[in-house]
Amino acid sequence: MRKIMAAVPQPARSKRTINPVTVLLALAAFLLLYHALVNPIGIFPEAWNLHLRDPLDVFKKWVIVANRDGHWMFAFFFQPIKSSVDFFIRRAEDFLFWLPWPVIVTFVFVLANKIGKLPLALITSLSLLAMGLLGLWNESMKTLALMVTAVIISLFIGIPLGIWTARNDRAERFLRPILDAMQTMPAFVYLIPVVLFFGIARVPSVIATIIYAIPPVVRLTNLGIRRVPEDVLEAARAFGSTPRQILTKVQIPQALPSIMAGVNQTIMMALSIVVIAALIGGGGLGDVVLKSLRRLQVGAALEGGLAIVFMAVLLDRLSFAFSQIEHVSVERFQGFRLLPEKWSDRAWAQAVEKPIAKIYAASAKAEQKLAGALSRLLPRYRDWWQGHSYLLTSLLVLLVLLGVSFALGWEEFPQSWNLSLNQPVDKVVKWAQVNLYQIGDTFIGTGPFSDFVSLYLLRPLRIFLTDWLAWPIVMLLTAAIAWAVSGWRLALYSFFSLMLIGWLGLWEEAADTLSQVLIAVLLSVLIGVPLGIWSARSDRAERGLRPILDFLQTIPTFVYLVPVIMLFNLGRVPGIMASVLYALSPTIRLTSLGIRQVDEAAVEASEAFGCTPAQTLRHVQIPLALPSIMLGINQTIMMVLAMVIIAGLVGAAGLGFEVVDAMQNNKMGASVEAGLAIVMMAIVLDRITQAWAERQAKAANI
């Protein structure tokens, strides 16, 4: 009886309760009127400034002194970490420089050929070769050494952590919020504190990279092990396996694809920060881009940027292939094929494939001969020789190549093989700056566009945010939104987060940054949502867009600056354009996904009532896809925020610029302050949009 009563909706309460959201809005409106008509509120009071930078700078001085004097914390903790990481980096770098380049390229080729197929082997080894052809072999190897060090250490910490969290619920509950928080933070946030404890140059770069890149591998190791089916585990237990046997013989092998997906993500995150680490002296390819950007040498910056893209492609494809290894007894396709199967009956394709097939047949024969020879030599290990003929042959080839390279002096990548893009690109950029700036007397061109964005979008918004909406009004409005989408906790949290930005004395800069972020998000949504809808409604559009989006998401943030300064020079607009390029993908992807996942029945029903496709889209598909679209926008916002500091590098004023400026001038306190302000802004925007998306999802379920 009681249960039935509870299910009946309660009649609306007659007693009027005061809605707190209304109160907050009324308060904001009152302040707005007061501000506009009676007495301007003015800027955030200087007197409230926390002066956080002072104690930080004092602390930094203490750190320097303590470090010099051998304080126990440095002597026994930071210093040992520093020297062991440094040792590792040096070994990795020395090794990569010692290896002649043909050996490295061939190694990548045979490895990729083993785990993927010929296309993968070609893509990866050609990417490596391209770095050399751009004249950046040494810089690439430096970056690779940092990557190898950072990724290996990350995996050494991350995989055991993942296993531990999978086997221990309490550990998972403890680590999960930390990992969540770590993933919300923009990459550069980790650069600031590590500089304090480890100084500048490569060691802090690697340490920041490790901290930033560790969450995905922990998460996916945990997830992979937890997803091993219960019946499989039960079978393992029923045969009397020890917990260790279950872990090593069942759980880890079963979770391997998931773990490798985590490794792939960790590698890509590591690459993005290793490149940014040029800001604190990480060196390598990031440094090439950074230096060229500072000198406005677009050609050189593009070379560096392209090398980074090649590095990204190489690492991404290779580690992704590892996560795709399937358990099949017999390969579905025995031969080796470079081109897609559907072209196989064309004459030119056959002409390409035939020699390749011959080479492969010959190498297979060589493999078998080698294994046969070894079997005769040491018959005891015959099975092993036979089973590992590819490995043996590859090793032999690499060793021979090593000897030959040293004998012929092929250690260094030949200088003369340089496809310098410098001059031609600089010429193109000059041409673009002259000719694309304004085409004829029309309003088409990068100049008018840039002016339009800054004059009609950015400036009014900035003025609106600073002059019209005085700081208490912004805080109240944010709190009201937070309350409406979530509750009092988030409202309070948002209010004080914004207050903290004021207390740091960065309200004006934050408003500037916010205006850029909002414009970038607006542009991303305006471009992304229609593209997403288009790709949801046309399979061909989706097939066309997918590789582009994959590619855009592979590229480290830094690289986006290169094309935009080619077109837009310096300032806020190129920063926004770079952010849009970088942050567009999730909105497109999740809009498309959301619409595609709308229940078939709902669409059918709508069509049965005679809706036009446009009506179905507007009344059924978009509302039902809204939670997914909101999630995409949330991710876009977070990615735009991650770009704030990068945009600062091309002169986009605001918090990002503050961080860059403070870092370059070694002003520890100021950079922490600005970094903190960005994090506060990120957290508030993230929580509010996420709460909103969740509300939409809940509403859609009911």
Q: Summarize as ranges the residues that interact with other proteins (CB under 8 A).
A: 229, 231-232, 234-242, 245, 249-250, 253-254, 256, 327-330
- CB atoms near residue 215 (< 10 Å): 24
How far apart (Å, rounded) are the C-alpha atoms in residues 304 and 560?
12
Give yes or no for a contact between 216 and 266, defined as CB atoms under 8 angstroms apart.
yes
The torsion angles phi and psi of 368, rounded to 5 degrees, stand at: -65, -35
- Closest CB 27 distance from other proteins, rounded Å: 49
How far apart are CB 235 and other proteins at their closest, in Å? 3
**Closer CB to other proteins, 96 or 256, in the complex:** 256
Instruction: Pick the closer one to other proteins by CB: 321 or 682.
Output: 321
Structure tokens at 529: 């949502």
In the complex, what is the shortest distance from the CB of residue 259 to other proteins, in angstroms, rounded to a whole number? Answer: 12
CA distance 89 to 277: 15
- The rounded distance, in Å, linking the Cα atoms of 583 and 581 is 6
Instruction: State the Cα–Cα distance between residues 293 and 299, nearest whole angstrom.
Output: 10
Residue 331 or 345 with smaller CB distance to other proteins: 331
Nearest to 296 by CA among 435, 99, 429: 429
C-alpha distances (whole Å) from 490 to each of 23, 341, 494 are 16, 55, 6
User: 183 or 242, CB closer to other proteins?
Assistant: 242
Give me the least distance between CB of 114 and other proteins, in Å please. Answer: 18
The least distance separating other proteins from the CB of residue 390, rounded to whole angstroms, comes to: 17
- Please identify, using beta-carbon distances, which residue of 11 and 229 lies nearer to other proteins: 229
Q: Distance between CA 233 and CA 249 in Å, rounded?
A: 11
Instruction: Give me the phi and psi of 241, to 5 degrees please.
Output: -75, 145
Whichever of 243 and 487 has its CB closer to other proteins, that residue is: 243
Cα-based distances in Å from 576 to 286, 518, 573, 634: 21, 10, 5, 17
What is the C-alpha separation between 527 and 591, in angstroms, rounded?
A: 11
Alpha-carbon distance of 44 to 186, in angstroms, equals 26
- Structural tokens at position 66: 């303590």
Closest CB 4 distance from other proteins, rounded Å: 17
Chain position carrying tokens 């996916």: 220
- Nearest approach, Cβ of 384 to other proteins (angstroms)? 11
Helix, strand, coil in percent for the chain, rounding step 5: 80, 0, 20
Give me the least distance between CB of 250 and other proteins, in Å please.
Answer: 6
Helix (H, G, I), strand (E, B) or coil at 291: helix
Residue among 235 and 548 whose Cβ is closer to other proteins: 235
* Shortest distance, position 341 Cβ to other proteins, whole Å: 21
* Strand intervals (E) in 357-478: none
Answer whether 140's CB lies under 8 Å from 307's CB.
yes
By C-beta, is 229 or 340 nearer to other proteins? 229
**Rounded distance between C-alpha atoms, residue 210 and residue 146, angstroms:** 11
Least CB distance to other proteins at residue 685 (A): 42
Nearer to other proteins, 234 or 467 (CB): 234
Residue in the block written with tokens 């988030």:
490
3-state secondary structure of 432: helix
Nearer to other proteins (CB atom), residue 254 or residue 585: 254
The DSSP H or E segment spanning 322 is helix 298-323
Burial state string for 498-523 with b = 16 or more CB within 10 A and e = fewer than 16: bbbbbbbbbbbbbbbbbbbbbbbbeb
Cβ nearer to other proteins, comparing 328 with 407: 328
Closer residue to other proteins in complex, CB, 241/553:
241
Least separation in angstroms between residue 358's CB and other proteins is: 28
Task: Tell me the closest approach of the beta carbon of residue 326 to other proteins, in angstroms.
Answer: 9
Under 8 Å between Cβ of 620 and 603 = yes
